[in-house]
Amino acid sequence: MTRDSSARTAVLGSGYYRHHYTDMKPCEGAWSKPHGAAAEQGGDGRGAAGDPWKDCMDTAVQLALTAGQVVKKALAEEKRVSTKTSVVDLVTETDHYVEELIISALREKFPTHRFIGEESTSAGSKCVLTDSPTWIIDPIDGTCNFVHRFPPVAVSIGFAVNRELEFGVIYHCTEEKMYTARKGQGAFCNQERLHVTKETGIKSSLILTEIGPKRDPATLKLFLGNMERLLTFQAHGIRVIGSATLALCHIASGVADAYYQFGLHCWDLAAATVIIREAGGFLIDTSGGPLDIMSCRVVAAGTMELAQSIAQELQTIDYGRDD
């Protein structure tokens, strides 16, 4: 593993990647021009009838699969690692490459849409949700896992219109699981319907969280204090898997009861929010109020009772906002 601790490594469109990935086959259809209803409507992905954003969602699934193949292949290979907001906030050439791959394909097909991407935002692009159709993308969620070859690694693509999340697509690259949800149409993993658990109390629940990139003593004290309080209530366990999006997919899948975190971003939350809601779950702000995907904090659970109980126990760790 090669570590490059300089602030950033410019890699977009580098010869390394063109050479390195020429044998990757894009999934069929992922790169095609607007077709069918989308073409009739000027290529904005809005179908003439039925589901208004079907073409967009189909494209997202194809791109997540293609990107996932790239990530899976790169997982086993040597990586050039750089850091972002802290020495534990990692980024690799593959993060940049995959984000560029996804956004350029979407921009070609849906030229009027807007984009929020983790790596473009780090590079200075604005992170603002407007009423325009907007794609919210995490090219590799679980970059630290990816660097260490620890399996939970995902590609996450969310889509919002009028600031409302319409669909979410998350691809677990190593387990080859495709999580999808369309507003009002349920949540699925590889076509199988997902349902959250009905656990209402902290006692006996299995809770997931993530650490976030700050490691100063005050932040760690708050982080550990929050864990300690939940464990005092006799939660069965707390797990940290290194990928916020996949942890949230576990809540949607009903294999864990709740998730909370300070320090995640809109690209960690966008797709997963639709998936959890469509699996019957709830997401709120850690203050107990409505979710704001730009606020860098969340509690998600199968029931509102459990989400509120957890929120009541949490002390705030301030990560600012994405916008």
* Interaction of residue 244 with ligand IPD, rule CB under 6 A: yes
Active site residue 136: no
The piece of 7-15, 173-181, 206-214, 215-223 that touches ligand IPD (CB under 6 A) is: 206-214
Contact code string over 76-115 relative to ligand IPD, x by CB under 6 A: ----------------------------------------
* Interaction of residue 242 with ligand IPD, rule CB under 6 A: yes
Q: What is the pairing mode between strands 134-141 and 114-117?
A: parallel
Per-residue tokens: 302: 């199968």
Among 100, 141, 166, 257, binds ligand IPD (CB under 6 A): 141
Active site residue 143: yes
CA distance 154 to 247: 11
* Interaction of residue 152 with ligand IPD, rule CB under 6 A: no
Site for ligand IPD in 248-287 (CB under 6 A): 263-265, 268
Instruction: Specify burial of residue 186 (Cβ count, 10 A radius: 0-12, 13-18, 19+).
Output: middle
Candidate list 93, 95, 100, 141, residue with the active-site label: 141
Name the minimum Å distance from CB 139 to ligand IPD: 8
Q: Are 220 and 313 in contact, with CB atoms under 8 Å apart? A: no
Contact code string over 210-229 relative to ligand IPD, x by CB under 6 A: xxx-----------------
* Interaction of residue 122 with ligand IPD, rule CB under 6 A: no
Active site residue 268: yes
Candidate list 140, 157, 207, 251, residue with the active-site label: 140
Among 55, 138, 257, 322, binds ligand IPD (CB under 6 A): 138
CA distance 61 to 71: 15
* Interaction of residue 118 with ligand IPD, rule CB under 6 A: yes
Instruction: Specify burial of residue 317 (Cβ count, 10 A radius: 0-12, 13-18, 19+).
Output: buried
H-run or E-run covering 268: helix 266-278
CA-nearest of 221, 228, 255 to 241 is 255
The CB density around residue 203, as the number of other CB atoms within 10 Å, is 11
Active site residue 138: yes
Bridge partners of 93, per DSSP, are none
Q: How many residues bind ligand IPD, per CB under 6 A?
A: 16
Q: Are 120 and 100 in contact, with CB atoms under 8 Å apart? A: no
Active site residue 232: no
Candidate list 51, 93, 100, 138, residue with the active-site label: 138
Query: Which residues are CB-neighbours of 6 under 8 A, at least 6 positions away?
Result: 82
Residue with tokens 């350029």: 104
Catalytic residues: 118, 138, 140-141, 143, 268
- Interface residue list for ligand IPD (CB under 6 A): 118, 138, 140-143, 210-212, 242-244, 263-265, 268
